[in-house]
Chains A and B, each alone.
Chain A
Amino acid sequence: MDLFIHNFLLGVGEITQLSVLLSLLAGSLIGILVGAIPGLGPAAAIAVLLPATFTMEPLAGLSMLLAVYCGAWYAGAIPAILINTPGTAVAVLSTYDGYPMTRRGQAKRALTIAFTSSFVGGTLSVIALTLSATLLAQFSKKFGAVEFTAAILLGLILIVVAHKGRMLSAIMMLGIGLFITTIGLSGSTGTVRYTFGSTGLLNGIPLVPVVLGVFAIAQALILLEGGCQPQKNPIDFPKPDKSTGIDWQGIKSVFGFPRTLFRSSAFGIGIGILPGVGEFLAQFFSYNSARKASKDPDSFGKGNPEGLIASETSNNAVTGAALVPLLALGIPGEALTAMMMSVFTVHNVFPGPRLFSSQPDLVYGIYISMLMINVFIFVTLLSLSRWSFLITKIDNRMLGIIILTLALIGTYSINLEMSNVWIALFFGVFGYIARRLGIPVVPMILGIVLGPILEYRLVQTLVISDGSLGILLDRPIALGLFAFMMIIIATSIFSVWKKT
């Protein structure tokens, strides 16, 4: 307990630095803006901001990205509730009950309920992160090369399985990501691999231009294609002067559903910790179980506040939990945490069990930063909810052009080389084609992030065991992870077989 208090105070010391506070506030506002604009999404925004965070202190950079991430998740509910178009894909289920409430003239109540539920989910998620990451990091001190290999393999399998209905494309994209990491000078053997004689490729293909390409440039092209589309089902929002102040009754009403709040948070946290599975599954489980447990299940989808609480609580409960595998094991579970990993590595900080003993100030700084982000976003959104409708009026075409210009300077600023812009452009075209064909790009990014770690650990494991993968069965932790992998693979094969 003393150690916890000591580390907590260290974290408070870190977070009270002006640079950290400013990045946290700026990130939250950018996140809110990004989440509230339909079609933009946090991935494109984080990709654009990533190069700028490399020049900041690690905690300031991470706080900014985390704030964008959380802000977008909160604000995604705004267009979902007001114009029946989710700001971020995870806010899909919020349209089911949020929009009917708006149609009944309860837009402000729906927004208040969504923000309050998000705050509860987000805060519980940070508490879960604080407890579980520390415990997992303690446990993972027992991890050696074999256990890390098993954990990464499990992560990769979960990422593939998470793309239900698109598993073949996910395997293909994962392979592309892993292959990209092998281009250039090999760290272990010192051999030049697949550079085709180009000296520019000797250092490999950097992650940031790829991320900017597949997320930012591809997204910009899709926004430009959409043009100035009229909003779906536009309705009149109450005029600002008619709906002043905070809707305290709305906040109170959320706590009238304690079971839904805790069940949805549990789904979000539990599923969020698993790499690759993510907020969609959490939201669907949460919404369905709330409907099943409700006394009035038929009203779900017709403006039942409990449905809105279930979806918003669970998708925001994922945000903190998603950081658990990154901080405790150094294994990012999805694209956004993969991008955050590059902020760590650019400062020579390596997430994993050792981080908790070597830099407790940073780890606890992240926890406190997450708490502050949730409080700041919640207060900001509640205070500005009557102006929310303005944000949905931004022109997609202008946004697309802005993203393209930011992508250019973002990639160029990494090391002041135009070659990075061409890499970003190439991956932008590839990302655009992939998204148009329904091929997921996230496995490719995770392949690029996890590829070097997997290669290093896998070769180490094989050297220890003299080439036998049977060593995975000899060690208890690795055996446990291996058994979990087998269960997942068997379940997926069974579900595919059952379908066909």
Chain B
Amino acid sequence: MSLVQKGTALLAALLAIIATVLIVSGPELVPVNEHYDAVYKSPLFFPYIALGLIIIGAIPLAIKACNGLRVVLDLDVETTSPRLRLVTVILIVFSAYTLLIPWIGYFLASVAFVCIAMFIVGFRGLPLLLKAIGFSTLLYALFVLGLDVWFPDSWLLQQFRV
């Protein structure tokens, strides 16, 4: 069983379990105050259809994956091998970027993110810093000054103002 087949089986089984739990606990999670004279008038009618579809697709998919499912990958995915450590680090840096914006402001957070992300994927030296500053300036000019996307005053800016 390949890694992709194991992953498919795991994901499908997980989704089937979640869908089942959501169906079973539906009446507790969705407050149905009145008595509906027909099933289709209930607010749970359509969610149950959707969750049912997940189960119908996921259970046989998990079984097929365990029995050696033939995986069809997109062309660009097929030609690159997964680098989970790199992806995890990039996601952590991206999350930090999102969290940093209220503290140091959009521009500085963008410079920091682009610098760190470029360093992680292998860029080095002065061009790294120049590209990061140049690109972040472009982003700031386009979105904040050009398209008027508003960001709250950062904590850092407030310190200087005082």
Contacts and interface: CB of A to CB of B under 8 A. Distances in A.
Contact of B118 (A175, A401, A433): A401
Contact of A405 (B58, B83, B87, B110): B110
Interface in A388-437: 397-398, 400-402, 404-406, 408-409, 412-413, 416, 418, 421-422, 425, 428-429, 432-437
Nearest to A183: B47
Interface stretch (A203-211, A225-233, A479-487): A225-233
A86 B47 CA distance: 40
A170 B57 contact: yes
Interface string A164-176: 0110111111111
A179 interface: yes
Contact of A182 (B47, B82, B114): B47
B139 to A, nearest CB: 6
Nearest to A221: B87
Interface stretch (A11-19, A287-295, A303-311, A451-459): A451-459
Interface stretch (A132-140, A189-197, A261-269): A189-197
A171 B53 contact: yes
A438 B43 contact: no
Interface string B46-57: 110111111111
Contacts, number: 199
Contacts of B53: 171-172, 174-175, 178
Contacts of B95: 425
Contact of B94 (A166, A408, A416, A439): A408
A418 B101 contact: yes
A38 interface: yes
Given A175-B50, A192-B31, A409-B139, A226 B39 contact: no
A7 B86 CA distance: 54
A435 B54 contact: no
Contacts of B58: 168, 172
B117 A225 contact: no
Nearest to B80: A226
A9 interface: no
Contact of B98 (A39, A408, A434): A408
A262 to B, nearest CB: 29
A144 interface: no
A179 B72 contact: no
B87 to A, nearest CB: 5
Contacts of B113: 404-405
Contact of A437 (B11, B30, B40, B90): B11
A418 B98 contact: yes
A467 interface: yes
A328 interface: no
A166 B72 contact: yes
B12 to A, nearest CB: 7
B155 interface: no
Interface string B15-48: 1000100100000011111000011111111110
Nearest to A189: B43
Q: Which has the most chain B C-beta neighbours within 10 Å: A39, A405, A406, A418? A: A405
Nearest to B61: A168
B86 A405 contact: no
Interface string A213-251: 000000001101111110000000000000000000000
A39 B79 CA distance: 10
B71 to A, nearest CB: 4
A425 B4 CA distance: 22
A490 interface: no
Nearest to A411: B98
B46 A178 contact: yes
B121 interface: yes
Nearest to A167: B57
Contacts of A432: 87
A172 B17 CA distance: 13
A397 B22 CA distance: 40
Interface string A79-99: 000000010010010000000
A416 B12 contact: no
B77 interface: yes
B81 A225 contact: yes
A222 B76 contact: yes
A52 B149 CA distance: 10
A462 interface: yes
A55 interface: yes
Interface in B1-15: 4, 7-8, 11-12, 15
Interface in A99-140: none
B32 A191 contact: yes
A226 B76 contact: yes
Given A225-B82, A436-B7, A193 B47 contact: yes
Interface string A14-47: 0000000000000000000000001100000000
Given A172-B61, A175-B53, A176-B15, A405 B98 contact: no
B124 interface: no
25 contacts: A89-B75, A89-B76, A169-B8, A169-B12, A169-B57, A172-B12, A172-B15, A175-B51, A175-B52, A178-B53, A179-B22, A179-B54, A191-B32, A193-B44, A193-B47, A194-B30, A221-B90, A401-B114, A401-B117, A401-B118, A416-B149, A438-B4, A459-B40, A463-B40, A467-B38
Given A405-B136, A436-B4, 20 more contacts: A168-B61, A172-B15, A176-B15, A182-B46, A188-B43, A191-B32, A193-B43, A225-B81, A401-B118, A405-B110, A405-B114, A405-B135, A421-B98, A425-B98, A435-B73, A437-B11, A438-B73, A459-B46, A462-B40, A467-B39
- Interchain residue pairs A-B with the least CB separation, the first 9: A175-B53, A172-B57, A171-B57, A175-B54, A178-B50, A179-B50, A191-B43, A226-B80, A168-B61
